[in-house]
Amino acid sequence: MKLLPSKYDKSSLDELFHEGTMPEPAALAGEWRVDMLTGIVPSMYRLNHRKVIEIGSGGGIFGSNVLFRDAKWGYFYVEKIFGRAFGFDDRPALLIDYNRTINGEMSRNLRDYVRCLAPGLFLGRFCYQFGSRLIFLGYFTLAKID
């Protein structure tokens, strides 16, 4: 089951993202089903693509992407971000930042910007940081797995 209908295009997703709200980073703790909606990266929904996010003992929020049953990749931190730094609008969002030494060189420049659409449903902008330039690659959803 898709999380949002495939009829959504970039313009309508831009509007939804703009209207979304920024929750506390701890709201992402848990397991989330990922579905790529637009962009250059195909959906891995059928491969059981998930983000597993935890609160560390020091209060930091971190996680990884998971495919199939337990193939982990793309380790990240979650934090609040404010302002035009994410290249869309001036409203705050959560940043999923892959700049960790455990990731490969290319993966370290990935940046996801996430806002809440409804309880248990988030819309994210998948981007790549190339120097000081942020390149938009597509939209994805996160849906809470109970």
Question: Can you give the pLDDT of all 146 residues of the chain as single tens digits?
Answer: 344 545 568 888 999 999 999 988 999 999 999 988 876 677 777 788 899 999 998 889 999 999 998 889 899 999 998 876 677 888 999 999 999 999 998 899 999 999 999 888 999 999 999 888 889 999 999 999 97
Confidence at residue 64, expressed as pLDDT on a 0 to 100 scale: 95
Q: Give the model's pLDDT for residue 28.
A: 92
Q: Rounded to an integer, what distance in angstroms lies between the CA atom of residue 15 and that of residue 12?
A: 5
Cβ-based neighbours of 59, under 8 Å, separated by 6 or more? none
Domains and CATH numbers, the chain: 10-144 (2.40.128)
Residue 73's nearest CA partner among 34, 121, 129 is: 34
Q: What tokens were used for 95?
A: 């940043």
According to DSSP, residue 84 is labeled G
Judge whether 113 and 93 are in contact, CB under 8 Å: yes
pTM of the model: 0.88
